Amino acid sequence: MKLEKIKVIVVDDHPLVIEGLRSSLGADSTIDVMNCFENASDLFAFLKRSTVNVVILDVNLPDMNGVEICERITKKYPHVKIVGLSTYNDPSIIKQMVKNGAKGYLLKNVTSKELATAIHQIHRGQSYFSGEIQKILADSIFDNNEIPKLTRREKEVLSLVAEGITTPKIAEKLIISPLTVETHRRNLIQKMGVSNAAQLVKMAIEQRLI
């Protein structure tokens, strides 16, 4: 009897990552990489018309972050399992992903073999976290003053946002594109576990980040 393949889709905004995942997972006879998307809009359009088992989801996307996507998928398509695959190793982001429905989380330095193992385990209704992620989460339990780790650029953007400076002006001041500024804004909002800029500034002041 022929076993049905696990239907997987990949969501990542880096074409090279998508190409690598499609190639490595495609070599597994038990996994069917149905499609790959670089944004949330195309992902949800596909979910409306297709049956999917597992979504491999990056945290940082151009039109919506992974935390929000997790929540939306979990509410609208509860049968779909989500595994986070990202470069972000901040415990606050990982916990938000899990809280919003992700059944697993791995970093992008994972091997294709371990990713396939995670897909199978999550498809069976279990959870899967790589060893590195388990350690990060375990360490965070004992950190009573857990403060999200911000990059130098994120701190610069946060400081300017707190001053009420607009995205175009921030871009001009830091000599980066407005799109990059918006990406930093989204990353800051999800790292701090808030929903808008006002809450972001309030939290940053409470945490003495600015």
106 bridge partner residues: 85
| Same domain, residue pair 126 and 171 | no
| Same domain, residue pair 36 and 111 | yes
Give the burial string for 34-67 (b: 16+ CB within 10 Å, else e): bebbbebeebbebbeeeebbbbbbbbbbeeebbb
Inform me whether the pLDDT recorded for 117 exceeds 90: yes
Angstrom distance (rounded) from CA 166 to CA 180: 13
Domain stop point among 96, 112, 141: 141
Inform me whether the pLDDT recorded for 1 exceeds 70: no
Tell whether 1 is covered by a domain: no
Q: Rounded to two decimals, what is the model's pTM?
A: 0.73
Angstrom distance (rounded) from CA 90 to CA 136: 8
| Same domain, residue pair 125 and 49 | yes
Q: Could you read off the pLDDT of 123-176 as tens digits, one per residue?
A: 999 999 998 999 888 777 655 555 677 888 988 999 898 888 899 999 999 999
Model confidence at 118, pLDDT cuts 50, 70, 90, reads very high
Q: What is the percentage of the chain residues whose pLDDT exceeds 70? A: 96
Model confidence at 26, pLDDT cuts 50, 70, 90, reads confident
Q: How many domains does the chain have?
A: 2
CATH number, domain with residue 37: 3.40.50.2300
The terminus-to-terminus CA distance of the chain in angstroms comes to: 62
| Same domain, residue pair 123 and 168 | no
Domain that holds residue 109: 6-141
Inform me whether the pLDDT recorded for 59 exceeds 70: yes
CATH number, domain with residue 178: 1.10.10.10
Inform me whether the pLDDT recorded for 7 exceeds 80: yes
At residue 17, φ and ψ (nearest 5 deg) are -65, -45
